[in-house]
Structure 1
Amino acid sequence: MSLDVGDLLLQTVPFARTLGITFSSTGDGRATCVLPDRPDLHNHIGGPHAGAMFTLAESASGAAMLSVFGDQLDRAVPLVATSAVRYVKLAKGEITAEAHLRAERADVVARLDAGERAEFGVEVDVRDAGGTTVATLTVTWTLRPNRA
């Protein structure tokens, strides 16, 4: 797909830009993005704030979703339906989120073709600079068909 989903996400989600999130890869239902280690993003114990970590992971999930379904934006609006986060270890320094789409394109497009909302999951691992998992997320996205 010729769409640069990292750029699209950063253009349409100003908060991700505010945090300084950057994308290192996107495509084929996967996305990787990075949150810089900045003191203004820290929590009370010196690691990245949980909200900043969540935004990083949600941004990765959105880019993974868009890498497969970005061509459907003219007929459906992508929205997060639910998310579940598990913070497993104190993060320090720069962190990276890797997202993986857990849906088949044909199934989701068939639901849209039928005029239905399609829901699907994206799994995200958040790791510190040493590669240790510091959080995991499951983000459930929906593509809501546009109303005529």
Structure 2
Amino acid sequence: MLQSVPFTRTLDIAFDKVEHGLAVARMRDRPDLHNHVGGPHAGALFTLAESASGAAMLSAFGDQLTRATPLAVSAAIRYVRLAMGEVVAEARLQASREEVVAKLDAGERPEFEVSVEIRTADGVPVSEMTVAWTLRPNR
């Protein structure tokens, strides 16, 4: 992710785990990313969650990149509590890899969701996000 999506480096996002449709990403506390109340800006939280969702997606479908381009279709985020300090995003694929690949094999453009929970470093939930992804077949 850090190589293919340079913006993740701008926010200093680190990946603790990426495997089988799961990704855990972390963004350390940085004053230049704060909002007006001293926590991570909503845009930074969004980017952390979207980056984690992309890593989860790639862990499941990275082997399909020679024949399809992954694209985010939509994203919805809900901020449930004020985030302060370092934050961690855990993203999980919500689709069957087999079903998605079967649609791609059939010449379709599959869509699937990745859910993300954002927590403080000590585990308090602060945001929830769902990102819809597609694999656009290459021509």
TM-score of the two chains, using structure 2 as the length reference: 0.98
RMSD: 0.6
2:55 aligned partner, one-letter code: A
Q: Secondary structure at the match of 1:12?
A: coil
* Equivalent residues in 2 for 1:1-148, closer than 5 Å: 9-147=1-139
User: Which portions of structure 1, spanning 4 or more consecutive aligned residues, are displaced by more than 6 angstroms?
Assistant: none
Partner Cα distance (2:41, 2:104) in 1:
37
Q: Which runs of 5+ in 2 are unaligned?
A: none
Task: Say how many residue pairs are matched.
Answer: 139
Q: Secondary structure at the match of 2:32?
A: helix
Partner Cα distance (1:129, 1:65) in 2:
23
Deviation at residue 23 of structure 1 after TM alignment: 0.3
Deviation at residue 51 of structure 1 after TM alignment: 0.7
Q: Secondary structure at the match of 2:3?
A: helix
Deviation at residue 130 of structure 1 after TM alignment: 2.1
2:107 aligned partner, one-letter code: G
TM-score of the two chains, using structure 1 as the length reference: 0.92
Partner Cα distance (2:42, 2:7) in 1:
15
Partner Cα distance (2:10, 2:91) in 1:
21
Partner Cα distance (2:48, 2:101) in 1:
27
2:82 aligned partner, one-letter code: L
Answer 1 or 2: which has greater helix percent.
Answer: 1
Q: Secondary structure at the match of 2:2?
A: helix
Partner Cα distance (2:36, 2:3) in 1:
30
Partner Cα distance (2:68, 2:93) in 1:
18
Deviation at residue 129 of structure 1 after TM alignment: 1.8
What's the % identity of the aligned pairs? 65
